[in-house]
């Protein structure tokens, strides 16, 4: 239906605005909105841009620490990493676009998060991703669909990241049937900048010019923000036009041009055009500075004929920035961007009216007060209700007589456990030559900060099964897991960015899950001293009424003062002693053991103890500083047995472990706050003293030895284990090619 044929109420509803919101818009404007203004409000008040359902629960996140330079509210968060340098990082979702069109959806997710980082003045130096799909093993329609989606997503991530010359150094891939109608693609990027040269998305100074730079604007991505704020149904394929189209080669030029721009004293602020395109960038820049803005939309470089003001304001064409320049610096900026063969145009100026005034060939086509749009979007207090399913999954009974050997072979060959080299081999992980520990090496990834000799460790994690059985503890455990992975490299965890993926917020049970998960993140971040410096909320991840499990993805970044002391997470040297740190209990709730052998996601969440978690971190970090450790591997999915097996196959060294447990199957238990560490025999005494001083349980459990994996009563030849571990995934993902 064309807009001319619609009355105002129909137009509002077509833009996913409620009639109550329409009344609010009328009150703000003092009149009826026109088509362009409806588009602006719909984009900025969408769930994706305004966080109207989630904002209530995000308040109260710990966001400050002495090392935090910039917390939430900017394009990306910033932490001080010492020696005058800063790490700039963020994680965002591109879930809906990646389901509709996996290659471009994932590619533009990577491109968008990189722009968020380099807009702050940082050069991107490392990417990760956290991707979730339904099971891909077997001949079902769903498995075939998700093999297709996974192949497309991986190609998109690699295609964009590789062209940008930014290494993809790690990530996480999980499989649960809840993602059958809605896969998740969360992209993370980290950049490095000088701590005193951070740029912000502001537009201030009356008369300062507003400039458009980057690619031309087309109609691709129209309605993308609104599309990402709705559930899917059978007609989701028809939403392909709302998916943006990326051009990494142009973004590479844009990156270099922006970094050159930042070296000169030419601009006041700069903002990426992400979701909602020119609308979000202009309103956010003016909103942060309590300014107004005039823009002449006919001056914006256009890719297509016949584009309208509505198209220019709502397009989500990629590789574009909005700049607030210093008056008189226009030509210098134009020269830089023309040198890099990019479009550049002066399209407006900053005013003191507090309004966004849009012109089309000299005629005003829209006028909207900035603050109500950018800063005063509706904040909803949606109903919450504890999900009924929780009462039905609480109790589990592990009553099958399953030999541990059988269990091990089943779990070790599970698609979640085996190596994902088929994925990460498509990513350039070594470009820029600073990767110390890349993908496939277990636990966190590490890059060298070549300017200082330090290292940054990072890990993206979420155990969605744990979040399903207990959203609060599961979210807390995700923070713990990401921090534990970082600590296993010897780095001190410093801060997190999150990406909160949930179902339909109109469902009270989903909002309860969300509220609980936020509380878990708050408590974990506070107790572990790892503030939240940015993030993203992705709701409406459901299809035909079936939502995803709560998936609060957490990316942790830590600092190691000496890159040369970055610990591996695989077995290193024959004869070294293996210790198990932490307490193993018979905790099988939400475990892979339960899912694989009983077909259930159920039970009680493992105990969460922040003090024990910190003791583990501190023990490993301190022992590494004192040169007492050779390697360290956290124990998580699959328990001691799988952790030991991964250490062995990745290190190509046999391991022998014998550990006393209350029950023989507890080698698969998933108690938190545990690790396996490798110590040279001559350092055992000193290490045990250090562990005792940190009040952590320490068990001298075995050694690196031989050509087999042996954990209590389970056994596998190392070569056979390597064959399963390194080849299984390729066989599955390529089975229909």
Q: How many CB atoms lie within 10 A of CB 441?
A: 21
Nearest by Cα to 487 from 465, 517, 461, 464: 461
Exposed (0-12), middle (13-18) or buried (19+): which is 376, by Cβ within 10 Å? middle
How far is residue 666 from each of residues 352, 390, 520, 560, measured CA to CA in Å? 67, 24, 26, 33
Catalytic residues: 48, 94
Cα 461 from Cα 251, distance rounded (Å): 28
Helix 639-651 vs helix 404-412: crossing angle, to nearest 10: 60
Q: What is the dihedral of CA 263, 264, 270, 274, to 10 degrees?
A: -50
Cα 645 from Cα 30, distance rounded (Å): 67
Side-by-side strand order, sheet with 631-634 = 631-634, 675-679, 577-581, 698-704, 655-657, 708-711, 714-717
What are the two backbone dihedrals, phi and then psi, of residue 226, each rounded to the nearest 5 degrees?
-70, -40
DSSP string, 592-651: HHHHHHH----SPPPP--HHHHHHHHHHHHHHHHTT--SEEEE--TTHHHHHHHHHHHHH
- β-strand partners of 457: 446, 558
Cβ neighbours of residue 438 under 8 Å, at least 6 residues apart?
Answer: 167, 169, 170, 424, 429, 430, 445
Cα 532 from Cα 57, distance rounded (Å): 13
Cα 614 from Cα 611, distance rounded (Å): 5
Sign of the alpha-carbon torsion through 481, 485, 491, 495: negative
Sign of the alpha-carbon torsion through 599, 137, 168, 272: negative
Cα 124 from Cα 88, distance rounded (Å): 8
Helix 102-118 vs helix 141-164: crossing angle, to nearest 10: 40
CB 517 within 8 A of CB 455: no
Cα 380 from Cα 229, distance rounded (Å): 14
Exposed (0-12), middle (13-18) or buried (19+): which is 430, by Cβ within 10 Å? exposed
Looking only at the bridges linking them, the beta strands covering 320-325 and 267-272 are antiparallel
């Amino acid at each position: 239906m064309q807009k001319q044929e619609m009355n105002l109420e129909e137009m509002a509803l077509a833009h996913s605005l409620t009639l109550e919101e329409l009344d609010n818009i009328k009150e703000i404007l003092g009149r009826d909105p026109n088509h362009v203004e409806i588009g602006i409000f719909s984009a900025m008040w969408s769930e994706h841009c305004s966080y109207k359902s989630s904002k209530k629960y995000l308040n109260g996140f710990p966001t400050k620490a002495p090392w935090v330079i910039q917390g939430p509210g900017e394009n990306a968060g910033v932490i001080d990493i010492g020696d005058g340098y800063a790490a700039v990082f963020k994680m965002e979702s591109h879930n809906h676009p990646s389901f509709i069109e996996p290659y471009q959806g994932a590619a533009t997710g990577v491109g968008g998060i990189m722009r968020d980082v380099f807009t702050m003045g940082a050069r991107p130096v490392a990417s990760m991703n956290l991707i979730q799909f339904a099971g891909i093993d077997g001949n079902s329609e769903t498995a075939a669909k998700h093999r297709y989606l996974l192949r497309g997503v991986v190609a998109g991530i690699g295609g964009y990241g590789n062209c940008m010359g930014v290494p993809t150094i790690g990530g996480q891939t999980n499989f649960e049937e809840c993602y059958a109608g809605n896969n998740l693609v969360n992209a993370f990027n980290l950049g490095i900048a000088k701590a005193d040269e951070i740029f912000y998305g502001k537009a201030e100074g009356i008369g300062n010019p507003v400039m458009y730079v980057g690619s031309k604007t087309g109609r691709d991505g129209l309605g993308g923000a609104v599309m990402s704020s709705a559930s899917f149904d059978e007609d989701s394929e028809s939403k392909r036009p709302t998916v943006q189209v990326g051009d990494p080669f142009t973004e590479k030029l844009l990156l270099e041009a922006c970094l050159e721009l930042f070296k000169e004293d030419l601009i006041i602020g700069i903002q990426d055009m992400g979701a909602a395109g020119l609308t979000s960038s202009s309103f956010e820049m003016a909103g942060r500075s309590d300014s107004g803005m005039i823009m002449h939309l006919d001056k914006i470089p256009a890719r297509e004929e016949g584009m309208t003001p509505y198209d220019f304001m709502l397009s989500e064409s990629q590789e574009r920035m909005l700049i607030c320049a210093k008056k008189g610096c226009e030509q210098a900026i134009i020269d830089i961007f023309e040198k890099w063969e990019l479009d550049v145009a002066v399209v407006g100026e900053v005013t003191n009216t507090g309004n966004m005034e849009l012109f089309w060939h000299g005629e005003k086509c829209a006028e909207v007060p900035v603050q109500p749009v950018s800063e005063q979007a509706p904040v909803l207090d949606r109903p919450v209700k504890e999900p009924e399913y929780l009462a039905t999954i609480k109790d589990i009974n592990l009553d099958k007589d399953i030999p541990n050997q059988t269990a091990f072979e089943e779990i070790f060959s599970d698609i979640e456990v085996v190596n994902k080299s088929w994925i990460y081999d498509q990513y350039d992980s070594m470009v820029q030559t600073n990767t110390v520990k890349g993908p496939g090496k277990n636990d966190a990834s590490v890059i060298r900060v070549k300017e200082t000799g330090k290292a940054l460790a990072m890990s993206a994690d979420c155990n969605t099964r744990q979040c399903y059985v207990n959203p609060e503890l599961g979210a807390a455990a995700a923070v713990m897991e990401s921090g534990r992975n970082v600590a296993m490299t010897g780095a001190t965890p410093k801060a997190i960015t999150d990406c909160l993926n949930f179902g339909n917020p109109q469902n009270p049970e989903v909002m309860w899950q969300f509220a609980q998960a936020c509380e878990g993140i708050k408590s974990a971040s506070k107790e572990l001293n790892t503030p939240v410096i940015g993030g993203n909320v992705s709701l409406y991840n459901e299809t035909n009424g079936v939502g995803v499990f709560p998936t609060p993805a957490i990316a942790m970044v830590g600092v190691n003062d000496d890159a040369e002391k970055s610990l591996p997470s695989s077995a290193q040297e024959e004869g070294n002693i293996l210790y198990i740190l932490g307490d193993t209990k018979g905790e099988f709730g939400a475990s892979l053991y339960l899912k694989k052998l009983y077909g259930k996601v159920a039970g009680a969440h493992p105990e969460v103890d922040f003090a024990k978690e910190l003791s583990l971190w501190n023990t490993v970090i301190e022992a590494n500083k004192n040169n007492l450790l050779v390697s360290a591997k956290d124990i998580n999915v699959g328990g001691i047995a799988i952790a030991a097996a991964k250490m062995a196959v990745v290190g190509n060294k046999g391991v022998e472990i014998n550990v006393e447990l209350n029950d023989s199957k507890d080698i698969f238990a998933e108690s938190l706050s545990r690790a396996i560490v490798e110590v040279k025999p001559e350092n055992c005494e000193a290490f045990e003293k250090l562990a005792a001083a940190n009040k952590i349980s320490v068990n001298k459990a075995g050694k690196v030895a031989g050509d087999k994996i042996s954990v209590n009563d389970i056994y596998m030849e190392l070569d056979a284990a390597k064959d399963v571990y390194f080849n299984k995934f390729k066989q599955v993902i390529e089975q229909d090619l």
